[in-house]
């Protein structure tokens, strides 16, 4: 499915494990916050969310450990901030990946279900992604990922 990470710092691994535990524990609350009652959209998001959790767990189990690895967080996850470079124009943008309908969305906030969010989630620094949006296709290279401690 996704490429394995070669190495993750102990600090990064701790953050990934904590994020996975938090997301599993709060799954129903996240679903309830995003959707009123049962709906097809809720079911689709739950399926996406379950896949996200399974992939996080796989990455954690497959990643090599190292004392210190780069200054960048190893993987784009919900809640992380992503710095990308437009491959065509060279412009640099920052996005924060949020759950759908997050009440604290800002200009740089991107839903994990949006075209940009789906393209970026679970990617690592250096990877290139194509975002297919209504305004056209955008090609980005992930420069840096940070995740608040």
- If 0-12 CB within 10 Å is exposed, 13-18 middle and 19+ buried, where does residue 90 land? exposed
pTM for the full model? 0.82
Task: Measure the CA–CA gap between 55 and 124, rounded to whole angstroms.
Answer: 13
| Nearest by Cα to 46 from 119, 104, 99 | 99
pLDDT digits (tens), the chain, 149 positions: 344 455 777 888 888 899 999 999 999 988 888 888 889 989 999 999 999 999 999 888 887 766 655 566 888 999 999 999 999 999 999 999 998 766 666 668 998 988 999 999 999 899 999 999 888 899 999 999 998 75
């Amino acid at each position: 499915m996704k490429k394995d990470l070669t190495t993750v710092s102990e600090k990064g691994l701790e953050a990934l494990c904590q994020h996975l535990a938090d997301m599993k524990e709060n799954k129903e609350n996240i679903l309830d916050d995003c959707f009123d009652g049962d709906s097809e959209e809720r079911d689709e998001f739950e399926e996406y969310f379950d896949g996200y959790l399974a992939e996080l767990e796989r990455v954690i189990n497959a990643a090599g450990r190292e004392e210190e690895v780069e200054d960048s967080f190893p993987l784009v996850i919900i809640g992380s901030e992503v710095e990308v470079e437009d491959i065509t124009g060279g412009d640099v943008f920052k996005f924060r990946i949020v759950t759908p309908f997050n009440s604290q969305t800002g200009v740089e906030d991107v839903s994990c279900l949006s075209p940009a969010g789906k393209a970026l989630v679970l990617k690592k620094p250096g990877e290139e992604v194509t975002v297919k949006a209504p305004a056209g296709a955008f090609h980005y290279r992930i420069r840096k990922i940070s995740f608040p401690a």
